[in-house]
Amino acid sequence: MDGSAGLADAFKQCEYPVVGHGRRNLGMLLEALEGADALQDADMYGKGKIIEDFQAKIAAFVGKPAAAFFPSGTMAQQIALRIWCDEKKSKRVAFHPLCHLEIHEEDGLKELHGIQPTLLGDADRLIRVEDVRALGEEEDTACLLLELPQREIGGQLPPYEELEAIAELCRSRGIRLHLDGARLFEILPYYGKSAADICSLFDSVYVSFYKGLGGIAGAILAGEASFVADANIWKRRHGGDLISLYPYIISSDYYFELRVGRMAQYYEEARELAALFNGCPSVRTVPAEPVSSMFHVHAERSKGAFEAALEAVCRRTGIGLSSWVKATGEHSSAFEATVGDRYAGVPKDKLREAFRVLGEELSAR
Amino acid sequence: MDGSAGLADAFKQCEYPVVGHGRRNLGMLLEALEGADALQDADMYGKGKIIEDFQAKIAAFVGKPAAAFFPSGTMAQQIALRIWCDEKKSKRVAFHPLCHLEIHEEDGLKELHGIQPTLLGDADRLIRVEDVRALGEEEDTACLLLELPQREIGGQLPPYEELEAIAELCRSRGIRLHLDGARLFEILPYYGKSAADICSLFDSVYVSFYKGLGGIAGAILAGEASFVADANIWKRRHGGDLISLYPYIISSDYYFELRVGRMAQYYEEARELAALFNGCPSVRTVPAEPVSSMFHVHAERSKGAFEAALEAVCRRTGIGLSSWVKATGEHSSAFEATVGDRYAGVPKDKLREAFRVLGEELSAR
């Protein structure tokens, strides 16, 4: 068994996995369906109480007039950008170099929509208002996509005032502002704002129901009624207007209700957990102090060495800190941590012991 | 209440709906999940036992080396055509004028893939081998899509020999042949062939799990391994590579197992039901004798008059023959009938009485 499988295996079997809500298994769906009314009608091609009610509920939560439920954020966000491009008769958008559309979607935006992104700013930092100001007007950018928090750099957030300045600049330049809010719920405690407050800065908003909320799959795209009407046409074109989406809608609603109120707790716990990592030799978190339920953990060790240390912690203490590590250099590596329901159930003394062992294991490698 | 809502309402409340398997409600999912193992791992982005096993099972059923599960047929079929177009460096495919891609998908094939279809043959009849022969070679057609049965004209089928001749012609011309097998399972009894026999004539095959099988949603696209590998990349681009598809996979598998063996029964019952319609004045079915579980029912009456007659049958006899009618002309109208599990439970004497009343009601209008 190689190091990687060894760590995954150790994490799977450990007594106290520290990150996440729980295993992704059929129990997640069964729990969401407990008490479901068998006689409730399915949604049919976007119509019906079950889909319309949920769309209205999330539209209200994010403070937009309308919303459409999508099977995936990949589909929802390409469509949002396409609508803004068509509005401006442009094929140009702007986003972060590590935007989900740039690195995780097999270039769907380019291959299906012929849209060319301007990669704004540097990969290792947030987009700044200066980056937006430097966007040449000649490029005819139809839309700027901002991801809050910026997942691939640990879930960082700009100061709220900078967000407001970017929104103001986009408005004055006629650039639509789209929110990749895959983890929008997770940032509300840090900003101390409502979702509607934050979304009021954006023309269109995508939120996910399986990231911090821990649902099965599904997304909402929200905006003005005409925007959402167009989005529904594009949803059909993409093959996302399924005859029935209710398995995802019911579970999205269930986990939204279960966890949206726990985001302040996850945020606080994430800061606590990050502090423990930062107390270890050769380890640091990004951000140094988390601004949501997530952060990245970097070690000045090779992937193999960090994996071996984490696996040893797992096997010696029963505490699972991560199931995987990725190389960031020959002698450096990292993983992503997201705090969910599991954290509160981990005994604090065992957790402290695990970090003592982690320090020991890292020092030995 | 207008005529249309009146009929839909009467059908919904009637004692014996004649068509379909049952109401599309949450009970369909709950039934499919009975006995599910809560500890079974979810599929993750196309990986995992639950999706891989089902893909392998359906690939074997249709006699292809590989298969990919899709949330929708709309997505699966656009992708199949795109792959064949890319292979030939062409943007030209051919299909029937009433093909699903032409009339039900908001032009996704054109808008997302820039593919131009040649509409082959006439809208009111099947594609013939002569139509394929007449396809100019200069058009550089990458792929011909055949839908079996041809749904929008009542679910008609060509003689099997003609199918073989079309396949042979396509092979000799270097045109890929794709099967829109949304209702493939339903035609096996008529042809007296296995799915693998029929699919051996095609380069790629799409099947649906919510048409005759009555699942919640979901589709399979099958073909050679390299074709399916490409299809999975396009699935991600379309936003169909959901983190977890298992709610659709489990229900697809459940209803496949439940009903794939009943297709001969539905076919026989469809012929019986069509004969009853054809015994009514001013009514005829297309095809005159069904070749699958489905057929269309045409009346020489306005939409309103046919609706009123069907609603009266519903209310007087408790037998629901259809929940809707569409106009096909000022004085003609039609609906689609698909025989499923409900038919066997309808008392034959009540059914005969319903048709006596239908004849009476139609004569009075």
Average pLDDT of the segment spanning A41-59: 98
Phi, psi (rounded to 5 degrees) for B299: -125, 145
> What is chain B's length?
365
Question: Given the DSSP bridges, would you call strands A16-17 and A219-223 parallel, antiparallel or unpaired?
Answer: unpaired
* B70 and B215 Cβ atoms separated by less than 8 Å: no
Question: What angle separates helix A303-317 from helix A348-363, to the nearest 10 degrees?
Answer: 140
SS3 of residue A291 by DSSP: coil
- Cβ distance A71 to B240 less than 8 Å, yes or no, reads yes
Best interface-test mutation with B: which of A29, A79, A81, A248 has the largest number of B CBs within 10 A?
A29
SS3 of residue B239 by DSSP: coil
Taking contacts as CB-CB distances below 8 angstroms, the residues of chain A near B233 are: 106
> What is chain A's length?
365
Count how many pairs of residues, chain A against chain B, have C-beta atoms within 8 Å. Answer: 164
* B120 and B95 Cβ atoms separated by less than 8 Å: yes
pLDDT at B345: 97
* B314 and B320 Cβ atoms separated by less than 8 Å: yes
* A6 and A331 Cβ atoms separated by less than 8 Å: no
Task: Give the gap in angstroms from C-alpha A171 to the nearest C-alpha of chain B.
Answer: 29
Spell out a b/e string for A172-201, using b for 16 or more CB atoms within 10 Å of the CB, else e.
Answer: eeebbbbbbbbbbbbbbbbbebebeebbeb
Of B37, B234, B242, the CB nearest to A217: B242
pLDDT at A344: 98
Best interface-test mutation with B: which of A13, A25, A81, A211 has the largest number of B CBs within 10 A?
A25
**Residue of chain A nearest B48, judged by CA positions:** A25
pLDDT at B137: 67
Task: Take residue A89 and report the two structure tokens written for it.
Answer: 């008769």
Closest CA to A245 of A76, A105, A108, A82: A76
Is pLDDT at A95 greater than 60 in this prediction?
Answer: yes
What single-letter DSSP state applies at residue A153? G
Task: Give the gap in angstroms from C-alpha A292 to the nearest C-alpha of chain B.
Answer: 22
Residue B35: Cβ within 10 Å count: 6
Is pLDDT at A209 greater than 80 in this prediction?
Answer: yes
Question: Given the DSSP bridges, would you call strands B294-299 and B283-286 parallel, antiparallel or unpaired?
Answer: antiparallel
- % of residues, chain B, pLDDT over 70: 98
* A66 and A215 Cβ atoms separated by less than 8 Å: no
pLDDT at B138: 62
Q: Tell me whether 0.85 is exceeded by the ipTM.
A: yes
Closest CA to B328 of B273, B284, B270, B361: B284
Task: Take residue A178 and report the two structure tokens written for it.
Answer: 């789209």
Taking contacts as CB-CB distances below 8 angstroms, the residues of chain B near A80 are: none
pLDDT at B33: 98
- Cβ distance B248 to A247 less than 8 Å, yes or no, reads yes
Phi, psi (rounded to 5 degrees) for A42: -70, 155
pLDDT at B365: 87
pLDDT at A1: 40
Of B39, B78, B106, the CB nearest to A25: B39
Condensed to tens digits (0 to 9), the pLDDT of residues A126-155 reads 999 999 999 976 679 999 999 999 999 999
Closest CA to B355 of B261, B279, B259, B245: B279
Taking contacts as CB-CB distances below 8 angstroms, the residues of chain B near A44 are: 24
pLDDT at A5: 83
* Interatomic CA distance for residues A123 and A165, integer angstroms: 21
- % of residues, chain A, pLDDT over 90: 96
Condensed to tens digits (0 to 9), the pLDDT of residues A296-332 reads 999 999 999 999 999 999 999 999 999 999 999 999 9
Q: Which residues, given as ranges, of chain B have pLDDT below 70?
A: 1-4, 137-138
Phi, psi (rounded to 5 degrees) for B290: -55, 150
Rg (CA), chain A: 21
User: For chain B, what percentages of helix, strand and coil (3-state, to nearest 5) are there?
Assistant: 50, 20, 35
Spell out a b/e string for A123-143, using b for 16 or more CB atoms within 10 Å of the CB, else e.
Answer: eeebbbbebbeebeeeeebbb
Distance of alpha carbon B30 from the chain centroid = 24
- Cβ distance A71 to B239 less than 8 Å, yes or no, reads yes
* B334 and B284 Cβ atoms separated by less than 8 Å: no
Exposed/middle/buried for residue A330 (C-beta within 10 Å: 0-12, 13-18, 19+)? exposed
- % of residues, chain A, pLDDT over 70: 98
Q: How far is CA A319 from CA A14, A84, A272, in A?
A: 6, 47, 16
* Interatomic CA distance for residues A325 and A306, integer angstroms: 7
